[in-house]
Amino acid sequence: MSNVEQSIDVDVPLSIAYNQWTQFESFPEFMEGVESVTQLTETRNRWVTEIGGQTREFVTEITEQHPDERIAWTTVEGDLKQSGVVTFHYLEENKTRVMIQLDWDPEGAAEKIGSALGVDSKRVKGDAERFKTFIEGRGLETGGWRGDVS
């Protein structure tokens, strides 16, 4: 199992950062390798990714979600095993720290070597930086879901 942790400070209020992160279908706009995310229910999403020339499809289930605090998930079907949590931390009125923790199970030699070389960490860092550019450039979220999942 590989573990990736990354944080980034974004210059928007906490609720805007959180609300945007609940808009899973917008993830391809700032996440490298994410081809599409389709929201199936309030807590399930189907992902299509392209990693190292290989297409992967999987479904995630939100296992915990508390507005303006955290979103946690795990895969429930498909060919990629992962779980993670994103937490949101108030720094100032217009500054929020977004912390990403991701655990995933690389399969095959290429993914294992890539993980050992830190390719997954670099990708998550790039995704966090693109999220910062995306949300700061907009100034407002594209939507938001404020539901609570325990």
Mean pLDDT of 41-62: 92
Number of independent structural domains in the chain: 1
pLDDT band at 125 (very low <50, low <70, confident <90, very high): very high
Residue 150 lies in a domain: no
pLDDT at 115 over 90: no
Residue 122 lies in a domain: yes
Q: Tens digits of per-residue pLDDT, 5-34?
A: 999 999 999 999 999 999 999 999 999 999
Give the model's pLDDT for residue 62.
97
Domain carrying residue 16: 2-22+61-138
Residue 15 lies in a domain: yes
Element (H, E) at 78: strand 70-78
Q: Could you tell me the CATH number of the domain that includes residue 124?
A: 3.30.530.20
What's the whole-model pTM score? 0.92
Mean pLDDT of 87-114: 88
Which residues pair with residue 40 across a beta bridge?
none
Q: Residue 44: what are its φ and ψ, rounded to 5°?
A: -120, 140
pLDDT band at 119 (very low <50, low <70, confident <90, very high): confident
